Amino acid sequence: MKKIKLLFLSIFFIGAAAFAQEKRITQQGHTNQNKFKQLKDLLATPNSQHTASGAPGINYTQQKVDYVMDIVLDDENQRITGKETIVYHNNSKDQLTYLWVQLDQNMRAKDSKTPDISTNKVPKKLNKRWFKRVFPDNSFDGGFKITSVKNTDGSNLSHTINQTMMRINLPKPLKSGETFSFKIDWWYNINNHRTQGGRSGYEHFTENGNNNYVIAQFFPRLCVYDNVEGWQNDQFWGRSEFALEFGDYTVNITTPDDHMLGATGVLQNEKEVLTKKESKRLAIARKTFDKPVIIRTQKEATKIEKSKSKKTKTWKFVAKNVRDYAFASSRKFIWDAQAVDINGRTVMAYSLYSKEANPLYGDHSTRSVVQTLKTYSKYTFDYPYHKAISVDGQMGMEYPQICFNPGRPDLEDGGYSDRQKYRTIGVTIHEVGHNFFPMIVNSDERQWTWMDEGLNSYMQMLAMMEYEEDYPLRRGLPKNIVKYMSGDQSKIAPIMSKGDNVYSFGNNAYGKPATALWILRETIMGKELFDHAFKTYSQRWMFKHPTPADFFRTMEDASGIDLDWFWRGWFYTTDVTDIGIKGVKKFSMKENENDVEFIEDTSKGLGFAKKHSKYHYEITYNKPGGLVMPIIVEFTYKDGSKERKTYPAQIWRYNDKEISKVFSSTKEISNITIDPDLETADVDTSNNSWPKQQKNKFEKFKNKVKG
């Protein structure tokens, strides 16, 4: 019996110990998972170059690279030959033993690895144009042919080529404050971007055997070196774009004598390359602010394109403080121009286009350039360059002072549909807008695509709305991102992802960040606070290299609003907005001698409330979605009147799943609706109303969301 008691006691104490252990386990601590915790665990530590306020610090430095180039455009063989002298200024505090140079054309080299990283299958059907691109008859001999890399004294300079990057091995370490000069000679075959794809190249016209050239990434150019990434020498796979240093360019471009050319920089020899008639018209355009002036007419361009001159001419340009260089050249180009008043300073808006793009380009291209410069200057900083050019390049690509845009008439009578009109205007505004982001606010596109595409897509919305009343906005409105955000999570990446590695590139880098900024301005911060903060960021980082942290911190610093919860949710996760009404309780109030009694009223007539001055509603909101967002509530009263109430996102700080809020009114409520104007990108509106709407009513609401 004694042994049995001992055994029982042993089991009891073991069980008690196990229970205590289990209790201790359940009481163990946890890390901070609150949606409102600060971003300090994700953002880089502030320093004297990138400060805690988001501004450049007192020790901020960046490199400078100057180029002198002689370029020959061979129209007969579709080839570019170039010679360049590069002067690299080491403004950093570091000593450098080598330099990295970008060779972007090498993604088209025969031994390029770019095609090998994309998976594919044999399609059932393929458009002939795409068939030629995917299944070319002959492999294209693309890529830079580097013929020499030399010191300025003519001696060979040690270098190593690694796909789209070339390392220049310096003869001796380059100390802080020193410069190093060297020369590169090269050539490459130009790709037909219409049949082979690409961000630059030529388009061939069979009518008279002419080509329109839109040329970029055409010269070896230096990578960025800074205290954030060191050398930004990630390989160029074709999608994530560019990280570049500012510098001064002197560029001489030799073309056929009958070509019209537009390029980055100030033209130095106008009288040598333009006719007297063209110069006279250009002088008129420089004083014409209300409409475009034709410099080379369609009739003149059509006549010129019928024959090919055997002579050449050299266009001479100087560009100061630009991060890149590009040009467009063709004997087919029509040219129009208009002056733009940017706070008392005249800037020229140009368009170059073939007759195939008229009248669409003639009607809207230069006007779109003008609108972009005005709107962006209003919300950021005055456009600092002397011109901006839109080129009929039938793609969407941007460079300092020049961009290549789509747009050709799509109707049988030579006219164009509204769809084509708005597509052309939208893309033109977007590409011209890139002059601000990233050509001036010079973010690292190779790493953070959204910092130029997303910010620019947001600004594009403002410019389009100012271009035309009731402009049909597509990308950027909250309702338009719902389908993407509510899609297959295995195919969605956070905004803070490298562009090369995301599935839905357009939604990830353009649509969602533009929507985020729209929501910040329209719903969370308000126009005044947002506009001031956005302008502060833009002006702080003009001609500098901002990081995501600089943007996030400046927006908070200049507005006085803690937005860490917003950045974390929208930019670092793939969470969605879904806020609903879980339940509504109605209360009547009864005043006693010493207290006030609230009695839940489950009757249809609200019982006690009819005898008193106020109705009291306890509304329980739940949040199936992961994002914390403001709760925008519209109350509809039985007399037909409406009232709105917005609860800040911080209402979720203590309970991330469900909260209750009392709303009192002197009038009886008949309906409650969350987010009535679709401001928050709510992915499920079926739980947004009380009483819950019947299916036929909800279908109308759902169709509005799909928009």
Global pTM reads 0.92
Q: Write the DSSP symbol of residue 615.
A: E
Boundary-marking domain end, from 516, 548, 569: 569
β-pair partners for 544: 441
Residue 16 lies in a domain: no
Residue 265 lies in a domain: no
Which position has the token pair 């079926």? 686
User: Whole-angstrom Cα distance, residue 222 to residue 207?
Assistant: 40
Contacts of 1 (CB under 8 A, 6+ apart): none
**Do residue 220 and residue 302 come from a single domain?**
no
Please provide residue 588's backbone torsions phi and psi, each rounded to the nearest 5 degrees.
-105, 150
3-state secondary structure of 284: helix
The domain total for the chain is: 4
Tell me the three-class secondary structure of 428-468, residue by residue. Answer: HHHHHHCCCCCCCECCCCCCCCHHHHHHHHHHHHHHHHHHC
Residue 654 lies in a domain: yes
37's tokens: 């915790």
**Do residue 67 and residue 43 come from a single domain?**
no
613 by Cβ neighbours in 10 Å (0-12 / 13-18 / 19+) ranks as exposed
CATH of the domain at 224: 2.60.40
**Do residue 346 and residue 307 come from a single domain?**
yes
User: Whole-angstrom Cα distance, residue 137 to residue 376?
Assistant: 45
Under 8 Å between Cβ of 437 and 459: yes
Residue 254 lies in a domain: no
- Where do runs of H (alpha helix) occur along 197-287? 270-273, 276-285
Which position has the token pair 């990630």? 234
Q: Between the CA atoms of 324, 77, 133 and 452, what dihedral angle is there, to the nearest 10 degrees?
A: 10
**Do residue 89 and residue 223 come from a single domain?**
yes
3-state secondary structure of 655: coil
Q: Write the DSSP symbol of residue 531.
A: H
**Do residue 70 and residue 181 come from a single domain?**
yes
Q: Of 557, 574, 388, 361, whose CA–CA distance to 481 is shortest?
A: 574
In Å, how far from its chain's centre is CA 604?
A: 53
Residue 391 lies in a domain: yes
**Do residue 437 and residue 461 come from a single domain?**
no
In order along the chain (707 residues), what is the average pLDDT of each group of 10 residues? 52 56 67 91 95 98 98 98 98 98 94 82 79 71 97 98 98 98 98 93 96 98 96 94 97 98 98 98 98 98 96 98 98 98 98 98 98 98 98 97 97 96 98 98 96 98 97 95 96 95 94 98 98 98 98 98 98 98 89 82 57 83 97 97 97 96 93 98 97 59 49
**Do residue 588 and residue 544 come from a single domain?**
no
**Do residue 457 and residue 516 come from a single domain?**
yes
**Do residue 222 and residue 144 come from a single domain?**
yes
450's tokens: 């959204």
Q: Of 457, 460, 442, whose CA–CA distance to 512 is shortest?
A: 457
Rg (C-alpha) for the chain, rounded Å, is 31
Q: Write the DSSP symbol of residue 372.
A: H
pLDDT tens, residue by residue, 636-683:
999 999 999 999 999 999 999 999 999 999 899 999 999 999 999 999
User: Whole-angstrom Cα distance, residue 696 to residue 205?
Assistant: 54
**Do residue 365 and residue 491 come from a single domain?**
no
**Do residue 507 and residue 560 come from a single domain?**
yes
Q: Which pLDDT belongs to residue 600?
A: 84
Mode of pairing for the β-strands spanning 247-256 and 64-74: parallel
pLDDT tens, residue by residue, 269-289:
999 999 999 999 999 999 999
Q: Which pLDDT belongs to residue 10?
A: 56
Residue 425 lies in a domain: yes
Boundary-marking domain end, from 442, 464, 494: 442
Q: Which pLDDT belongs to residue 25?
A: 56
User: Whole-angstrom Cα distance, residue 245 to residue 444?
Assistant: 10
403's tokens: 């961009």
Give the range of the structural domain holding residue 365, as residue numbers without chain letter. 270-311+336-442
Q: Which pLDDT belongs to residue 3?
A: 52
Residue 200 lies in a domain: yes
Boundary-marking domain end, from 245, 261, 293: 245
**Do residue 114 and residue 224 come from a single domain?**
yes
Residue 20 lies in a domain: no
